[in-house]
Structure 1
Amino acid sequence: MMTIKKVSLIGLGALGILFGNQLSKKIPSADLRIIADRTRIQSYQDEGVYCNGELCHFQYMTPEEVCEPADLLIIAVKFNGLNEAIQSVKHHVGKKTLIISLLNGITSEEIIGEAYGIEKVLYCVAQGMDAVKVGNRLTYDHMGMLCFGEKEPVLNSEKVNRLADFFEKMEIPYETDPDMGKRLWGKFMLNVGVNQTVAVFESDYGEVQQDGPARSMMISAMREVIALSSREGVKLTENDLDYWLRVLGTLSPDGKPSMAQDVEARRFSEVDLFSGTVVELGKKYGIPTPVNQELFERIKQLESQYTGIKI
C-alpha cells in the first residue's frame, strides 16, 4: 500500500489551523505545504498563526510555485472560496493524490471531483471540535475527529486504509464510515440547526444545549432537513437527530460555531449553503421549510447591517 508522506493544505480557517498544527508536529516541515497567495502569506508571517497560544511553524507556498504533487491534499477553505482554491492547488495534484474536503455542506466533494476526478476524493466530515478563531489565533478544547470513507458503501477500500494508517501515525482522531452519504447529510443537518440558530440568537453552544426557544428552533430546522433527505436518496431519521444532538452535547458551552463567529466579526456567512440549500430543495420537492426560511431572512437581515444595504 502506498504511504502518505507529502501533505498540502489550503485554507487556514479554524480547521486548517487545528489539523495543520497537529500535522506540523509529526512530519518534517518540508513535507507539509500550506498553499496561500502572497498577501496572505505576508500576513501569516508578519502576525504569526497561533493554535492554543502556540506559534505554528508552517512552510508556505504560493499557487504559482511548481512542486512535487502531494500524497494528501486537504481543502479547508470556506465554500465561497472553493472555486479559487481548486485553481490554486493544481500543482499539488498528481495521479496518486488523495483529496479530502473539510468544507461544510453536501456538494464540495462533487465539485472537487469534477475538477480532478472523483476517484481521487474521499468523502470527509469534521465533527466534534469546538474551535474558536479570532484573527490568526485559534483556541479549542476538543479536537473532535475526521470521519471519512467512500461515498458508496465499500469494505476495505485501499484509499480509506491509506488515510486511516496516516491519521493513526499523526495522532489525528478519526473514524471510518462505510455510508458517508448519510454522514454528510447528518452533519449538514447539524450545521443547518446549530450554526444558524446560534448566529441568530447571537449566543453560544450552551444556549442550544439546554431547553428553550433556541434549542426548539434548532431542532425544528434539523427536522426540515430530515424531511428532505429521503427525496435526495438519504434516509435520515430521528435516531440520526439524536446522534447529532449527542455530538453537540460534547462541545464546550462557551464555544461558538463558525457562522456565529462570522456574524460577530461582521463577515458574510455561509447561510446560502445552509438554509439557502434547504429552502431551494424544499421548493424543488414541494416540502415546506418555514423555519429555515425564517433563519435565512434573519441572517440576511443581520448581514445587511454590515453595509447598510437592505436585503
Structure 2
Amino acid sequence: MEIKKVSIVGLGALGILFGHHLSKKLPKADLRIIADQDRIKRYQTEGVYCNGEHCDFNYVTPDELVEPADLILFTVKYDGLKDAISAVKNHVGEQTILLSALNGITSEAIIGEAYGLNKVLYCVAQGMDAVKVGNQLTYDNMGMLSFGEHDPEIRSEKAERVAAFFDKTEVPYEVVSEMVKRQWGKFMLNVGVNQTVAIYESNYGEIQKEGPARETMIAAMREVIVLSEKEGIYLTEKDIDYWLTILATLSPEGKPSMAQDFDARRHSEVELFAGTVLKLADKHRISTPVNRDLYDRIKLFESNYDSK
C-alpha cells in the first residue's frame, strides 16, 4: 500500500523541517499539520518560515474528521507526547504507520500502548543542525531519519513502504536493523551534546574542537556506555566515534535543542537526558558523576528563570 497522506503533529524544528520539505513534494491536501485552533491562528497570522521561505501548510485541528493518514510523524517534545497521541486519534486507521522523531528511548513504547506496536516503526532523527527562533527555522544540514523494527531480524512491509515513500519524496533516510542500539547511541549523543552545549552557553563549534567542553561531552557519553552494558545494549567506543563523525558535519554556529531552550528561557528535556541516566544509574547502583553535575547545573539554571 503506497503512502500518500501524511500527518505531522508538532511544529517545532523537525516538524517545520520535514513539513516544509514534504509540502513541496505532496499535494497540499495530502500533508496535514495537526494543531489546536489557537496555534493554527498564530501560525496563520505570524507565518512559519524555513530557511527564509514561507511554509504554506494545510492545518487541521485534532477534532476535525479526516481520512486516515498512511504515515503520521510525531515531532513534538517529550512533554508534549501525551497530548500529541490524543491529537492524532482521527488520523489513525488500520494501515497507518507511526514514526516518532522524539529524543530519548521511550516514545515508541508509549505510542504503541495507545495504538498498537504493530503500527510503530522505531526511529532516530540524526544529523540535522536546525535552529528555530520564534517562527523562523534555519538549517544547513537536513540530516536523515533512521528507522526499522524493534526486532533486528525483521525488515517489515511497514519499513519497505516508508522507504519507498522517502525515495519518492527525496527525504534522506536509512533503514537500520539494530534500531534499539541506534536509539541508545542517539540518546548517548544527546546526553553529551545537548547538555554540554547548554551549560557552556555555546554552539556545536565549541564541542567540535578539543577543549573542556568536548571533554565533558565525551565523559557524559561514556557514562551511558556503562549503563548500556547493564541494559544489554552494549554500546562501545566505536559508537562514540560514529556519533562524533556525525557531529563533525554540523554547522559550527548551530545549536542543539536544549541550548535553544536556554536561549528562549524554556524548560528543557533534562529529565529525558541526565534524568534518565540518573534513574538507570540508581537502578544498577552505578555512579554517574558527570551527568549528576550536568543535571544539577541545568536544574539550577532553569530555577533562575523567574528571578531574572
Calculate the aligned-residue CA RMSD, in Å: 0.8
Taking the aligned partners of 2:202 and 2:69, their CA distance within structure 1 comes to 40
Taking the aligned partners of 2:232 and 2:93, their CA distance within structure 1 comes to 32
The equivalent residue for 1:220 is 219
1:308, distance to aligned residue in structure 2 (A): 3.0
* Equivalent residues of 2:188, 2:224 under 8 A apart: yes
The equivalent residue for 1:255 is 254
Aligned pair count reads 308
Map of 1:1-311 to 2, 5 A cutoff? Answer: 2-308=1-307
Regions of 4+ moved over 2 Å: none
1:155, distance to aligned residue in structure 2 (A): 4.2
Give TM-score, length-normalised by structure 1: 0.98
Q: 1:233 is paired with a residue of what secondary structure?
A: coil
1:156, distance to aligned residue in structure 2 (A): 3.4
Taking the aligned partners of 2:152 and 2:206, their CA distance within structure 1 comes to 37
Q: 1:43 is paired with a residue of what secondary structure?
A: helix
Structure 2 stretches lacking a partner, 5+ long:
none
Report the AA paired with residue 183 of structure 1: R
* Equivalent residues of 2:148, 2:155 under 8 A apart: no
Taking the aligned partners of 1:288 and 1:163, their CA distance within structure 2 comes to 41
**CA offsets 1:112-153 (integer angstroms, 9 cap, x no match):** 000000000000101000000001110000001110000111
**CA offsets 1:193-233 (integer angstroms, 9 cap, x no match):** 00000000000000000111100000000000000002212
* Equivalent residues of 2:149, 2:155 under 8 A apart: no
Q: 2:304 is paired with a residue of what secondary structure?
A: helix
Taking the aligned partners of 1:66 and 1:3, their CA distance within structure 2 comes to 22
Give TM-score, length-normalised by structure 2: 0.99
1:276, distance to aligned residue in structure 2 (A): 0.3
1:87, distance to aligned residue in structure 2 (A): 0.6
